[in-house]
């Protein structure tokens, strides 16, 4: 074991803003550091639970919120590195530590003496003279403990802890398997025949991918979304499109070491057992009990409102694709690897809008400036890059964030490029949450955004599609949720909200990218510097509803399959399942179009199986879209997308309140009423009139 005095994870982090000492930390430091930190955290919990004094808010609730700082900072760094900059050695540590950390969480959550004190305060909460945030903290901790098995006893408690440890192992393996499949694939393109139809921006990223992988005299397409989607869109080689598509949708579905089929099957069976131990008929019932939706019927009602209209719209879109394919002599029927290719032709015909024409106006650096500028105009924030502060990878830029009063409010780390050792997708995370220390001093949040954009060659600008730029704004919205948090307690900070509220700040921020004045100011040609022409903005905005049937079917199919798998009860859930067969049967039952597919198939559905956060919860993006479409209407009604009064309410009740307010109440405080579904349906071009979303079930 490394001595504690030599382990940087166990020393004071005398670094700018308390950032981790990235350069000093090595894989070998984590296991011994965790051993020390877990022991210290357990001692703190024992001291709180076994205190002689009668329980009070300060000596129990606030004390528990403050404890475990050493463990928390090590865990946060570890989780971020295993997602953003992993290695075979770090993955091995991750596999070994997964059940250990799960066991520790179970031991804390099932600590009988501590829970007894929390339960006492929960029962007495109306008589304690608490301010609303203190009351909310008691309620959230009480719910956390109940949902983690605090009322279980004897064999049931032991079994619950075993389930959670095994689930931690399996979800870790699932994510690593997907990463292995993604890292192991490359489509090598040799010569003009292989690259037919690919515009220069696709060729440029393929050249860079080849250089990074040591492939000489050829180009490489990887399974990074920023590469695979443009390839499927523009390649004239139908056979290569099929090859790339099958690799993309087949991740995790290969016999051998990285096969996720048995992993997902066991996860589903264990989740059902977990839910049953806590008194729920299914895992979906358990997961939804602590959401805005509350139950399956509310989720089903929302998904049903878009499913059939989306299929109908997709039928219309398919007919247009068939006409284009027929006129150009291309084979029918339309296959899944054809849809994007033919859709791009239709888009060009209908809107005279060519992706290759648009992308030069969406350079990554310009879009980052746009996001920062919107944050400044809405909330008074300024982002100052700190080139002297090093992060965990040279790609990562570190920014100091100041408010309108020039006080530092946090630190923002931006990690934008795809690379080996980084999981796919885009996400926000935190190295430290905002809170206020016991003496009232503020604890600065340390917030990260990760994207997976295809990196341009050295010296060349990285160009984004409009969808990529939307992703950047989406994740930055999550980042603002963490940076603008203004609460007293760590448990209530930033994005620690109910799962179907957490996507509201991110999806809402996407709206500002589409504002014509934002595009006119920041979308400038990467070579000439000329602003994007107004006519091109008009075409871009007019085309937003294009292909929405396709996109909505893909999303909703994934959400419906997720809910169906986690809603199983009895032997169907307990015995496990053939996840691929279940997926196919459920899609057939729903009448899902085979030529469209899903956003995520079950064997690589990391939202569901690389963790539990979105299990029985993929619907939340649509739920949040209801909220954000209605929320942005407040700016529309004010006649200004940067209206100061609306922005102040937005900051206070949505971006700043964390989990200190019940989410429905937070939305109503901002909007003045409960949300309605109509704006979301109109936003997707799927209809209008719909009832209010928030009706108590």
Closest of 322, 318, 324 to residue 332, by C-alpha: 322
d(CA 468, CA 228): 13
The counts of H helices and E strands in the chain are 28, 9
How far is the CA of 622 from the CAs of 40, 501, 547, 548, 629, in angstroms?
Answer: 42, 11, 17, 13, 10
In order, the DSSP letters of 625-656 are HHHHHHHHHHHHHHT-TT-HHHHHHHIIIIIS
Q: What is the dihedral of CA 289, 290, 292, 294, to 10 degrees?
A: 0
CB atoms closer than 10 angstroms to residue 303: 20
Cα 526-527-533 angle, rounded to 5 deg? 70
Q: Which of 475, 551, 583, 586 is catalytic?
A: 475
Q: What does DSSP assign to residue 532?
A: P
Q: Phi and psi for 691 in degrees, rounded to 5?
A: -75, 170
**Residue 46: both structure tokens together:** 């024992």
Residue 602 burial (C-beta neighbours within 10 Å; 0-12, 13-18, 19+): buried
Closest of 506, 495, 476, 484 to residue 370, by C-alpha: 476
Angle between helices 620-638 and 548-566 (to 10 degrees): 130
| CA terminus-to-terminus distance, the chain | 54
Closest of 696, 694, 634, 642 to residue 670, by C-alpha: 634
What is the chain's alpha carbon radius of gyration, rounded to the nearest angstrom?
25
475 is catalytic: yes
**Residue 630: both structure tokens together:** 């209605």
- Residues annotated as catalytic are 475
């Amino acid at each position: 074991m490394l001595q504690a005095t030599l382990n940087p994870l166990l020393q004071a982090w005398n670094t700018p803003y308390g950032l981790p000492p990235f350069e000093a930390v090595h894989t070998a430091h984590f296991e011994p550091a965790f051993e020390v930190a877990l022991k210290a955290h357990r001692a703190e919990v024992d001291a709180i639970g076994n205190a002689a004094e009668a329980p009070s808010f300060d000596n129990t609730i606030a004390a528990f919120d403050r404890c475990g700082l050493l463990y928390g900072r090590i865990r946060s760094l570890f989780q971020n590195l295993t997602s953003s900059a992993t290695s075979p050695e770090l993955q091995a540590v991750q596999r070994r530590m997964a059940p250990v950390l799960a066991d520790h969480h179970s031991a804390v959550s099932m600590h009988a003496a501590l829970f007894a004190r929390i339960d006492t305060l929960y029962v007495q909460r109306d008589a304690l003279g608490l301010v609303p945030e203190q009351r909310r903290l008691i309620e959230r901790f009480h719910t956390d403990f109940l949902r983690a098995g605090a009322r279980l006893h004897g064999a049931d408690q032991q079994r619950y802890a075993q389930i959670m440890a095994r689930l931690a192992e399996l979800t870790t393996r699932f994510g690593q398997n997907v990463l292995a499949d993604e890292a192991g694939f490359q489509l090598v393109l040799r010569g003009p025949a292989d690259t037919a139809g690919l515009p220069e921006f696709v060729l440029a990223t393929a050249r860079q991918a080849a250089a990074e992988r040591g492939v000489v005299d050829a180009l490489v397409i990887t399974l990074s979304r920023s590469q695979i989607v443009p390839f499927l869109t523009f390649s004239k080689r139908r056979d290569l499109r099929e090859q790339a598509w099958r690799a993309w949708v087949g991740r995790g579905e290969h016999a051998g070491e990285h096969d996720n089929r048995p992993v997902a099957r066991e996860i589903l069976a264990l989740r059902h057992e977990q839910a049953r131990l806590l008194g729920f008929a299914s895992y979906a019932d358990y997961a939804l009990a602590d959401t805005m939706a509350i139950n399956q019927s509310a989720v089903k009602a929302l998904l049903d409102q878009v499913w059939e209209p989306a299929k109908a719209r997709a039928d219309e879109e398919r007919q247009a694709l068939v006409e284009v394919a027929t006129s150009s002599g291309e084979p029918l029927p339309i296959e899944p690897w054809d849809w994007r290719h033919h859709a791009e032709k239709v888009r060009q015909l209908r809107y005279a809008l060519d992706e290759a024409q648009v992308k030069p106006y969406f350079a990554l650096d310009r879009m980052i400036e746009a996001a920062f500028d919107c944050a400044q105009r809405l909330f008074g924030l300024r982002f100052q890059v700190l080139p002297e502060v090093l992060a965990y990878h040279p790609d990562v830029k570190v920014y100091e964030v100041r408010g309108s009063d020039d006080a530092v409010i946090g630190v923002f780390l931006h990690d934008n490029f795809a690379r080996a050792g980084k999981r796919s997708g885009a996400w926000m995370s935190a190295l430290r949450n905002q809170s206020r220390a016991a003496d009232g001093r503020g604890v600065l949040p340390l917030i990260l955004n990760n994207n997976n954009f295809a990196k341009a060659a050295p010296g060349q600008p990285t160009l984004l599609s409009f969808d990529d730029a939307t992703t950047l704004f989406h994740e930055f919205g999550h980042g603002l949720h963490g940076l603008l948090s203004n609460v007293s307690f760590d448990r209530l900070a930033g994005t620690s909200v109910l799962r179907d509220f957490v996507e509201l700040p991110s999806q809402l921020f996407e709206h500002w990218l589409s504002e014509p004045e934002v595009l006119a100011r920041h979308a400038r040609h990467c070579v000439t510097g000329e602003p994007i022409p107004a006519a091109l903005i008009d075409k871009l905005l007019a085309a937003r509803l294009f292909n929405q049937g396709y996109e909505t079917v893909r999303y909703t199919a994934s959400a419906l399959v997720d809910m169906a798998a986690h809603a199983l009860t009895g032997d169907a859930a307990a015995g496990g399942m053939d996840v691929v067969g279940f997926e196919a049967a459920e899609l057939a039952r729903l009448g899902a179009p085979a030529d469209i597919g899903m956003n995520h198939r079950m064997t690589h559905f990391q939202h569901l199986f690389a963790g539990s956060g979105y299990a029985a919860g993929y619907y939340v993006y649509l739920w949040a879209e209801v909220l954000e479409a209605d929320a942005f209407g407040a700016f529309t009604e004010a006649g200004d997308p940067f209206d100061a009064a609306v922005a102040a309410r937005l900051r206070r009740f949505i971006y700043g309140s964390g989990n200190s307010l019940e989410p429905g109440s937070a939305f109503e405080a901002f909007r003045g009423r409960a949300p309605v579904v109509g704006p979301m349906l109109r936003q997707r071009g799927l209809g209008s009139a719909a009832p209010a979303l928030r009706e108590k079930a």
